[in-house]
Chains A and B, each alone.
Chain A
Amino acid sequence: MGCIRSVLSVLVIAAVAGGCVSTSDIEAIQAQLSDIQRQVLLLQQQSSSKEEVATLRDEVAEQTDQLLKSEAEMLVGLEQLSTQIEQLQANLGDTNYRLAQLSQQITATNQELQAVRSALGGSLRRPSAPSIEPPEDPRDLYDSAYSDYLAGRYDLAVSGFRRYLESFPESPQADNANYWVAESLFSQQKYSQAIIEFDRMLTSYPDSEKTPSVLLKKGYAYLEVGQREQGLVQLRNVVRQYPQSDEANLARQRLRSLGVDPG
């Protein structure tokens, strides 16, 4: 959270370094600052951690006071401008970039902010903050959702892969994307939802190479929610349909451990 503070203080430093700035420049700074404050507030709203929100709010308030004070100093003289303003603008660009990085960091580190990306997509569309925008390239979209899965950000992985499936339903990777949606839900122990997604996979991509894994995981999910008979049916399906697969071996092992003849 201290990062937000420092990002804002970079702004202030830049303003102080500039020394004397015209009114329109100040307005520009104010617009940028209030924009940044809006973004910070938005990030706060999406955080359910009250302590962090309170701290952030205090820091933003302090920074605002500080900026106002600096403005008063700036209004004293309106002469030497140009080079410092360029510097200021570069700093602002840098600030925006860092803010974008920051929002990604918050996304990455705070499990409770998992819904943030989809919300940011609409409200933070700024040309100067490209890394916050949802990636449109299919590869980027898929890769970032898969990164989210590997890093354990399952809500983000689910929304990323769903967006991929909506945008690129004909992609040869579509079955994998659907698989990772199901697997993310499974990882979150949302077994009933995972079963729905596994079923969707079996219907939509019957020839997917993931099918043995889907049948096995669907069986495991049924066992997890206590539907033993359904689970056994799925595990036997794996053994019958893909007897040579790794998944069939795992299914046989699980059936045996449940006291059932794997057949």
Chain B
Amino acid sequence: MRIRRSLALALLVVCAFVAPVASQTGTEDEGSEISIVLDGTARSRLRLAVPDPAGLEKLSPEARRAAEEMVDVLRRDLEASGVFIVQGPDQLAVLDLTGDPLTDYLLYESLGNKLLLDADVIEEPGRLVLEGRVFNLASASSVLGKRYRGGFELARRIAHTFADEIVFYFTGRRGVSLTSIAFHSDRGKSGNREIYLMDYDGFNQRAITAHETLSMSPDWSPGSDFIAYVSYLGGAPGLHQVELRSGRKSAILTEGDFNISPAFSPDGKAIAFSRSVGGGNTEVFVCNRDGSNLRRLTNSRGIDTNPAWSPTGREIAFTSNRSGTPQIYVMSAEGSDLRRATSLGRYNDGAAWSPDGTKLAHSARRQDNNFDIAITDLVTLETRYLTESAPGSHESPSYSPDGKKLAYAANLTSRSGTTTQIFTMDLDGGGRRQLTRYGNNFAPSWSGYPKQ
């Protein structure tokens, strides 16, 4: 069932060649303790050997570079998925491989591996063919086979696609290797802040606005085809959007003193945001995609801001200082039935919903006035801190679409001073990975899954 699921990637020719996995596993897969990963905890990580592909030395230099990058990305994706512990050429170098598959399987197994990813790379004029098979070492049987063909420039994309396919096979959950992260950065020469995009692993960073003013707070539309953001274009901060395919930009709502922190509703029809109502007071409002049908949801004397829609679209979390300190509240999407979500600490802000709708990630100020990334369970109202042991301040968490990772912005102090950079980490605070390096980078927003 899984393997037959087709990948509609316009530029890739994809075909499954090792066959009907579903029926094969029934008769030949006795040794299989695999695909029992239900929660992705360290306990259930699978060891997977990924040696360099055969035939590398036969490739042209350009093809070889692409092929090496492809396998490198594949290893990183599989390791980052939290499902596998990957052994690459460095760890496998101790083995005296014979070239006889059955003997070599035993050797791979001797290092604790349960699985082997055996890849072949073939060069065709101007493009690469990747043939990858995953073997269950205990039963010496192939459990998954795929063939991808594409230009050298698609090496990373092919690797991401294959990695997600493998993750899906073993977990039933879509991998996030093909997702993107939006953020804003001052890295340009003028120091203006523009909206940027990057792949989930930090590659392929590019600006998608050039307003040459302050642009910030990107938020993805549910189909990952638009990004709403705030820009000072025209003088006052207003809501704008960009269609990613065409690059076309349009204003959503610019009248009023300011309109900030847009958040798409899960059905994509509405945008919640924070709007000045005068006298230093901001309230949470909702409008349609085109700025029409403006409705006010909150009424407090204090600041109400940073709305975030729950995945069901029935709740909105936001930050309010109505109690005297900034805390996170949840209300129904109509604005009624207010409930306070955070109670620990004197400053909680920037809520992001977990994809299952039961938790909020947010920033929480600690004793030294730096911020931690925290997760508050909306059912038990218990709060867990993820970055307590790390120096510096951590803000603006955003969940990956599978709910397994958070992107966030954190201070980084080096010899040249302190900058803010974007990182990702696992939900236990481990597996931290720095994605940006130039200028200051803020407000990451993780996309949903790309359309299939």
Residues of chain A at the chain B interface (Cβ within 8 Å): 1-3, 5-7, 9-10, 12-13, 16, 51-52, 55, 58-59, 62-63, 65-66, 70, 98, 101-102, 105, 108, 143, 146-147, 150-152, 179, 183, 187, 210, 212-213, 216-217, 220, 246-247, 249-250, 253, 257
B25 touches A5 (CB 8 A): yes
Cβ of B29 < 8 Å from any Cβ of A? yes
**Cβ contact within 8 Å between A253 and B295:** yes
Q: Is B35 within 8 A of A2, CB to CB?
A: yes
CA distance A102 to B35 in the complex (A): 12
Q: Tell me if B302 is interfacial: C-beta within 8 Å of chain A.
A: no
- Check A1 against B1 for contact (C-beta < 8 Å): yes
Tally of contact residues, B, Cβ under 8 A: 41
Q: Please, how many angstroms separate the alpha-carbon atoms of A217 and B337 in the complex?
A: 10
CB distance A3 to B172 under 8 Å?
A: yes
Contact A210 B380 (CB under 8 A): no
With contacts A143-B380, A150-B357 known, is A216 near B30, CB below 8 A? no
Contacts of A7 in B (CB 8 A): 36
**A220 contacts which chain B residues (CB < 8 A)?**
334
Chain B min CB distance to A235 (Å): 12
Q: How far is the CB of B233 from chain A (nearest CB, A)?
A: 29
Contacts between chains A and B (CB distance < 8 A), count: 113
Min C-beta distance of A115 to chain B, whole Å:
19
A–B complex contacts, Cβ < 8 Å, 10 sampled: A3-B36, A9-B32, A55-B1, A58-B22, A62-B27, A98-B36, A150-B379, A151-B312, A151-B358, A257-B295
Q: What is the chain B residue whose CB lies nearest that of A94?
A: B36
Chain A hits for B358, CB < 8 A: 147, 150-151
B92 at interface, CB cutoff 8 A? no
Do residues A98 and B336 form an inter-chain contact, with CB atoms below 8 A?
no
Contacts A6-B35, A102-B38, A249-B299 supplied; 11 other A-B pairs, CB < 8 Å: A2-B172, A3-B35, A52-B1, A62-B26, A143-B379, A152-B312, A152-B314, A187-B314, A212-B336, A216-B336, A217-B336
Of the candidates B36, B296, B338, B378, the one whose C-beta lies within 8 Å of that of A10 is B36
Knowing A6-B35, A55-B22, A246-B299, the reply to whether A150 touches B310 (Cβ < 8 A) is: yes
Chain A residues whose CB sits within 8 angstroms of the CB of B1 once the complex forms: 1-2, 51-52, 55
Determine the chain B residues whose CB is within 8 A of the CB of A16 once the complex forms. Answer: 30
How close is B60's CB to chain A, nearest CB, in angstroms? 39
Q: A33 to B31, alpha carbons, bound, how many Å?
A: 18
With a cutoff of 8 Å between Cβ atoms, the chain B residues found around residue A183 in the complex are 314, 332, 337
| Candidate in B1, B2, B33, B338 with the most chain A CB atoms within 10 angstroms | B1
B335 contacts A by Cβ under 8 Å: yes
B163 to chain A, nearest CB (A): 18
Residue-wise, chain B 2-30 has the 8 Å CB interface mask toward A (1 for contact) of 10000000000000000000110111011
| Chain A interface, >50% SS class | helix
What is the chain B residue whose CB lies nearest that of A101? B38
Give the complex CA separation of A13 and B28 in angstroms: 12
B124 CB–A CB distance under 8 Å: no
Separation in Å of the A194 CB from the closest CB of chain B?
Answer: 13
Is B297 part of the binding interface, using a Cβ–Cβ cutoff of 8 Å? yes
A143 CB contacts on chain B under 8 angstroms: 379-380
**Among B315, B334, B379, contact of A216 (Cβ-Cβ < 8 Å):** B334
Nearest CB of chain B from residue A21's CB, rounded to whole Å: 16
A144 (CB) vs chain B CBs: closest residue: B379
Which chain B residues lie closer than 8 Å to A105 at the CB level?
Answer: 38
Minimum distance in angstroms from A8 CB to a CB of chain B: 10
Residue B210, interface by CB 8 Å = no
Minimum C-beta distance from A254 to chain B (A) = 9
A246–B304 Cα distance when bound, in Å, is 13
Residue of A nearest to B34 (CB): A6
Nearest-neighbor residue (CB-CB) of A8 within chain B: B26
List B contacts of A98 (CB < 8 A). Answer: 36, 38
Q: Give, as a whole number of angstroms, the nearest-CB distance from A239 to chain B.
A: 13
Q: Which of B335-366 contact A (CB under 8 A)?
A: 335-338, 356-358
The 8 A-B residue pairs with the shortest CB-CB distance, nearest first, are A62-B26, A152-B312, A6-B35, A213-B336, A213-B337, A150-B357, A249-B299, A151-B357
